[in-house]
Amino acid sequence: MRIAFLPLVCALLPCAIGLAASAPAVAAPPSVSLEDLTWTEVRDAVKAGTTTIILPVGGTEQNGPQMALGKHNTRARVLAGRIATTLGDTLVAPVVAYVPEGSVSPPSGHMRYPGTISIPDSAFKGLLEGAARSLKQGGFLHVVLIGDHGGYQNELKDVAAALNREWAGTTARAHFIDTYYKVTQTAYVQALRAKGLSDAAIGSHAGAADTSLQMAIDPSMVRPDKLDSASGSATGIAGDPRASSAALGKLGVDQIVAQTVAAIRKARQEHP
């Protein structure tokens, strides 16, 4: 029996090997954007090792007469997508577009300009916590918080810390990656200075730095015919956007993506 069976096994073995070799691998998701995927595509991606998801935070605020209100939202979405694509095992959740922007009544800060939307800190934190818990329930082990706006960085840090206390003893982790925003205040500014721009032109809001980044990411949101007249606090600008260009903005885009990718990899290594 054993002797008769052996030739049959030998005859079938190449066929079995061939079938195994031709078995389809788990396909990569067709997009890094969670919104573009079906639930089964998300399930399969997580099973295949895509267990990191970026929760990008933007904001809806005035950006001078030369730049659209959704600047932060577009920037957070596009840059998060590039970061996720570079990482290769990461998806991107929908952008959080409603953030604290100051007092509504009486209006303060950006709320003094039509179009800005502000929500209370408590609502903002609750929204982020609910979104992160939902993503954890869906199988993601690393929920990465990044914010394109400087005003709520501390809130993102607090939310990540609260989630990690809640998730203690589980395999899930929340990561606040402050590198994403800090790059725009450090390395990007230094690169612009090296190109001859003054700090007064670079500015802190809707100046040359801010406007150049938007030109590099989505130029349709910038009004070139408004650059010459867009300056001064009366227009909502801190800086001078006249020297803005897509080429200058690309300096910031490249640094934001590269340094944020490195920071996420480091965070995951420290908390596998």
State yes or no: pLDDT of 27 exceeds 90.
no
Q: Which amino acid is at 37?
A: L
Q: What is the pLDDT of residue 25?
A: 53
Which comes out higher in pLDDT, residue 15 or 271? 271
Q: How confident is the model over 61-82, as a mean pLDDT?
A: 97
pLDDT in tens, 101-114: 999 999 999 999 99
Q: What is the pLDDT of residue 48?
A: 97
Q: pTM to 2 decimals?
A: 0.89
Q: What pLDDT sits at residue 86?
A: 98
What is the percent of the chain where pLDDT is above 70? 89
Q: What is the pLDDT of residue 78?
A: 98
pLDDT for res 46: 98
- DSSP for the chain, written as a single string: -HHHHHHHHHHHHHHHHHHHHHSPPPPPPS-SBGGGS-HHHHHHHHHTT--EEEEEE-------TTB-TTHHHHHHHHHHHHHHHHHSSEEEPPPB--B--S-TTTT-GGGGSTT--B--HHHHHHHHHHHHHHHHHTT-SEEEEEESSGGGHHHHHHHHHHHHHHTTTSS-EEEE-THHHHHHHTHHHHHHHHTT--HHHH-SBSSHHHHHHHHHH-GGGB-GGGTTT--SGGGT-BS-GGG--HHHHHHHHHHHHHHHHHHHHHHHHH--
13 CB-contact burial (10 Å; exposed 0-12 / middle 13-18 / buried 19+): exposed
* Radius of gyration of the chain from its Cα atoms, rounded to whole angstroms: 24
Q: What is the pLDDT of residue 156?
A: 98
pLDDT confidence band for 233 (50 / 70 / 90): low
Per-residue pLDDT at 1 exceeds 80: no
Residue 2 pLDDT = 44
Give the pLDDT score at 7: 46
Q: Which CATH architecture has domain 27-270?
A: 3-Layer(aba) Sandwich (3.40)
Query: What is the tens place of the pLDDT at every residue in 167-225?
Result: 999 999 999 999 999 999 999 999 999 999 999 999 999 999 999 999 999 999 999 99
Q: How confident is the model at residue 28 (pLDDT cuts 50, 70, 90)?
A: confident
pLDDT mean over 224-245 = 87
**Pick from 5-14, 85-94, 129-138: least confident:** 5-14
Over residues 85-105, the mean pLDDT reads 97
List pLDDT tens digits, range 35-69.
Answer: 999 999 999 999 999 999 999 999 999 999 999 99
What band does 12 get if pLDDT is binned at 50, 70 and 90?
very low
pLDDT tens digits, residue range 117-156? 999 999 999 999 999 999 999 999 999 999 999 999 999 9
Choice between 22 and 35, residue whose per-residue pLDDT is larger: 35
